[in-house]
Amino acid sequence: MEQETKKKTAAEVRKEECERIRSELEQQGYRCENATISILKANLMVFATSVPVCVFFAVIYALANGGYGRLSEANGWALFPVLVLLSIPVHELLHGLGWLPSCKNGWKSIRFGMMWSSLTPYCNCKEPMGVKNYYLGLLTPFTVLGLLPSAAAIPAGSMTMLAFGLMNILFAGGDLTIALVIRKYIGKQAVLLDHPSECGSLAFIRET
């Protein structure tokens, strides 16, 4: 009899791997908590996380440079849309680079993809890790693509650099929201594992 085989989707593979790790950690005495947030809420939270940071840098830039007079950086503005588009995959790559030092299996534990239902690119780490290490990978894109260019734009007086930095601070709004969600696990005996399908992670707390 001919046996039909169904190829597993990326989402199914992520879910199975997550369930396996969850079972292993629970057998070791960890209790699982859901530390996720809906994509809609994460997007709305941008107004409470990223926007104030953007306003801060915009005000400092204006004070340091006498306003926003340098709007004629023709070459910079011509490249701006390309740089912003390129920053999207770079953002995910930086997540992976931030988590890489904590991965026993190196790049084999880092996975990139796209959630087509929400048109959301992602970087997923297959291994659980400590809260501080998770924060490192979570906030690396925000720091490298957002904070550093925004800060450098002030002495350079570059509006295009400032706009690039502010745009990437907005892109990191979901990451900043997740950082707020998981802050309660700082200082606890906990490890975090990327959720296979939602925005955020599963938190495993060791029972005492």
Q: Kindly report, residue by residue over 149-175, the tens digit of the pLDDT.
A: 999 999 999 899 999 999 999 999 999
On whether residue 104 sits in a domain, the answer given is yes
Alpha-carbon gap, residue 84 to 167, rounded angstroms: 8
How far apart CA 130 and CA 187 sit, in angstroms, is 10
Q: How many CA atoms lie within 13 A of 197 on its CB side?
A: 11
* pLDDT for residue 2 is more than 50: no
- pLDDT beyond 80 at 205: yes
Residue 48 lies in a domain: yes
Q: How many CB atoms lie within 10 A of CB 73?
A: 16
Using pLDDT thresholds of 50, 70 and 90, give the confidence band for residue 3: very low
- Beta bridge partner(s), residue 5: none
The SS3 of residue 207 is coil
Predicted confidence band at 1 (pLDDT cuts at 50, 70, 90)?
very low
Count how many domains the chain has. Answer: 1
User: Is residue 5 domain-resident?
Assistant: no
Give residue-wise pLDDT tens across range 72-128.
565 567 788 999 999 999 999 999 999 999 999 999 999 998 877 767 788 999 999
Residue 3 domain-assigned (yes or no)? no
- pLDDT value at residue 92: 97
Instruction: Round to whole Å and give the CA distance between 100 and 102.
Output: 5
Helix (H, G, I), strand (E, B) or coil at 56: helix
CA distance 196 to 121: 13
For 9-38, write each residue's pLDDT tens digit: 888 888 999 999 999 999 999 999 999 998
Q: How far is CA 12 from CA 8, 32, 123, in A?
A: 6, 20, 16
Instruction: Give the range of the structural domain holding residue 101, as residue numbers without chain letter.
Output: 10-206
- Could you tell me if residue 1 is inside a domain? no
Query: What is the mean predicted confidence (pLDDT) over 50-55?
Result: 97
- Find, among 73, 20, 64, the residue nearest to 154 by Cα: 64
